[in-house]
Structure 1
Amino acid sequence: MFKKLLSSIGIGSATVDTKLSKAQYTQGETVEGVVEVRGGSVEQRIDEIYLALVTTYIREIDDKKVEEKAVLARYKVSDSMTIGPNETKTIPFQFALPYDVPVTLGSSKVWLQTGLDIKMALDPQDRDYLTIEPHPLVTAFLEAARQLGFRLRDVQCEQAPRYWQRRLPFVQEFEFRPTGGAFRGRLDELEAIFFVSEHGVEAILEIDRKARGFAGLLAEALDMDETLVRFTYGPNDIASLPQLLANAIRRHS
């Protein structure tokens, strides 16, 4: 009875260790691996084994920026099971990453958090960080921007206004600065948000025009120098993407 009581509060209880086939993935790619469950000093009933895909984002509260956690998805690895003392069980799993998982550039981090639901017990947890590369269509945009003279300056997940929110309460913003090419001297910066799907990408571009003359300075002071542009493209547009992007920027700068 004493051992069972200790186990119920997390002493001598089961532990988990998630092992991935690799640590680097692209948005939408399938993740494969195994969860190893090791029994503690007593037999235990595990109600569920789960994997939670987690990230953080910046939220502004009372003019202060705070970091919040967000669960992007939760995956059930197994149903209820019993693990004996010092027993080890290996459970394979696979799941597809969502297309809106943030890429791990800038300050953005993504990890898998593994846990056991054990009645009346503390949850043993295992955290595995992932490297998330952009979807190939997002990579194509980054390359197109580079060809036009833009340098990727910062990437950050921030709370989104309601009209930009889709499945998640935040968006990942990519901030570019023109360091060469035709737009140097014409723009202060270019920001992009990507909504990726199976069929293509919807990008929201914020074009921050460089102040030119008194009217430009006045517009900048009143935050009227920024233009939002909806820019969509698909796999068939990759070859012409630099020109399409340049045309979109020119129309609004």
Structure 2
Amino acid sequence: MRRPVLATLIAAAAASALLAGCGAPAAGDAASAAGTEPGSATTPAVAGEITVLAAASLTEAFTTLGRQFEAAHPGASITFSFGPSSGLATQITEGAPVDVFASASTATMDDVVAAGAAAAPAVFADNVMEIAVPASNPAGVTALADLARPEVKVALCQPAVPCGAGAASVLAAAGLTVTPVTLEADVKATLTKVVLGEVDAGVVYATDVLAAGDTVTGIEIPADVNAATSYPIASLAASKNPHLAKAFVDYVLSGDGASVLTAAGFRRP
């Protein structure tokens, strides 16, 4: 039997609407499929490569953070370079291709900001100084005052780097005069002298003593003379991948980042 024309037209329109609803995703669904948030179709994905310069004392913690960040963002790759904060800052101000800087000193970060290479750094951790001695402690060092004994061979960081400035502050506050047998480029180099038994003691960060495990023994410095340092982080103005750089900075500042840093011995700011 021949269907009425009006009924045929109504059926065709309904079928067309049904097909349109199934075949064309909504604006929000389309944005999600493209990997962006609805209404922000130009937001880039957290992917690509960045270079992070970080203080030597952050080696273990940042290596863990980088591994976790890359696991959460399979398209992202982070290259780390660890060293003395002052030297890293010089690299940045001289134009090295860097995306993120994490310093062991707010003063060093201030130099980078003053040069226009970074803005709005955020402090993510604090640290304190500690004495490290070889596991066998051949010189019998048990207190800060022992570092002033003339027969005790002491390693310190160079005065220009944060761990050197921290050690100088501690010794001045304690009224001690210590003549080091070596001044090392950064805290890891200072710690290595202790681990190898080339010195009887070194003044390093508490986190480095923890990271060294049973290769050294830590001797706490009294709180009334101890020195603390703050660690700021910032993405850099010249970053070639500012979205990924910001994402990594945000991760360091997040609760997950704080958990890793706390486990490594850093204190919350």
Bin for the TM-score computed over the shorter chain: under 0.3
In terms of fraction of residues, the more helix-rich structure is: 2
In terms of Rg, which structure is larger?
2
Report the TM-score when normalising by structure 1: 0.28
